[in-house]
Each structure stands twice: as structure tokens, then as C-alpha cells.
Amino acid sequence: MLFRPLRIALRIVSLLVAALLLYFAVSLVQVWLTSREYDPHPAAAILVMGAAEDNGTPTLDLQARLKEAVILFQDGYAHLIVVTGSREKGDVFTEAGVSKSYLEHKGVPASDILEAGGTNSYENVADAAPQLISRHATSVLVTTDPFHEDRSMAIASSLGLTPSPTPTRTSPITGWSTVPYFLKEAVGVGLGRIVGFNHLEWLHEA
């Protein structure tokens, strides 16, 4: 009889752990399925999620996102590109500034590029959203790495935008190297739904 409350408590804990594992497993599946979606269609803007820059030059990951944005822009899906990202500690250039220079070099007019800041995914979208909403440009094509697409769109939806997935198809992160990123994004999406995506500052993507 003395051990009965303990057994009940252990059973409850086991059920809770199983429920959490199932919840994050479902989140992982959702992140993976979204990574495979590519749905370009006419929209008000192309939203490029920030990634690292290297002393004024986009990293390969950021270049891949920007290349996708250029393709969408040139194909006429949107006539405004929003680049995001501020500077990390010790940096001279901002991610958004470097991205804008890259786009201009590829032939995108400066007047068709909007800069937003942010040091993480939530801040990227949170800084871009008011500018887009003020322009009545709430439909956006979200361009980022495939594994990052689901969380980026969830953040955009939570901030009043209507996102569609257009992940880069030339990401340098491929194959088995994507596994840790998918796992991290599953945790981010799962926790974001519970505590809010604005409370995931610790979660940084490449």
C-alpha cells in the first residue's frame, strides 16, 4: 500500500513524458513536411530571413536565400524584397545591409528593397512586419533554409502576415548535416507554440 502512490506518480510522469515525446515527434514531422513545400505565387513581398555575413560578404547560406529571392523577384511573384538581420557583436556590417548590396548587384532596384533588423528569427519578422503592414503588404513569400521554413512562417503568421513557403533550393546545408537543424527546429516550433516564439532568443539558426 505504501508504494501505490509512488507507482501512480511514476505512471503519471511516464504518460507526461510519452505525451511530450509524441508532441515533439509530430512537430518534427511538420517541420520536415513544410521543408518540402515550395509554393510561389503572386504576393506583396518576398521576406528573406537573416543569416550570417562575413565582413560585408554574404555567407553561402545567406547567398542561397538571396539567390532564391532574386529568382522570385525576376519571375514577377513580388515587386518588393524585405531583407532582415542586424549586426552581431564585433561586426561592421548588418546582415540586411549586406543582403541589400548583394541584391542591388544582381539587378534589383534599391527602391524595391526594404531593410529590417533583428538578431534572431522572431526579431527579423517583428521588425519587418510593421513596415509591411503599413504598406498593406501582408502576403509574403518566406525565403529561408528548408528546415527553417516552418518556424519562420509560424512567426510571420503570429505577427499578422500571410506567409507562403518558398525555401531556397540551393542551401549549402544538405544531406545528413541537416539532421541537427531539423531536430532543433522541431524543438523551436514545439516550444514556440507553448511559450511564444518571442521567448526563443536562445535558438539561433545558421
Question: Can you tell me the mean pLDDT for 75-79?
Answer: 98
Which H/E stretch holds residue 133? helix 121-134
Of 177, 204, 199, 151, residue with least CA distance to 27: 151
For residue 2, the model assigns a pLDDT of 57
pTM, two decimal places: 0.90
For residue 17, the model assigns a pLDDT of 84
Q: Say which residue, 56 or 203, is predicted with more confidence.
A: 56
pLDDT for residue 3 is more than 70 = no
| CA distance readout (Å), 60 to 2, 50, 53, 175, 177 | 62, 12, 9, 16, 15
What pLDDT digit, counting tens, does each position of 84-118 carry?
999 887 788 999 999 999 999 999 999 999 999 99
What CA–CA distance (Å, rounded) separates 203 from 206? 10
The residues facing 139 across adjacent strands are 162
Question: Can you tell me the mean pLDDT for 61-68?
Answer: 98
The number of beta carbons lying within 10 Å of the beta carbon of residue 89 is: 5
pLDDT band at 1 (very low <50, low <70, confident <90, very high): low
For residue 206, the model assigns a pLDDT of 41
C-alpha cell at 14: 511516464
The residues facing 53 across adjacent strands are 58
pLDDT band at 204 (very low <50, low <70, confident <90, very high): low
The percent of residues in the chain predicted with pLDDT above 90, rounded, is 81
pLDDT for residue 158 is more than 90 = yes
Average per-residue pLDDT for the chain:
93
Q: Sketch out the chain's domains with CATH numbers.
A: 38-172 (3.40.50.620)
Looking at 6-15, 39-48, 113-122, which range is the least confident one? 6-15
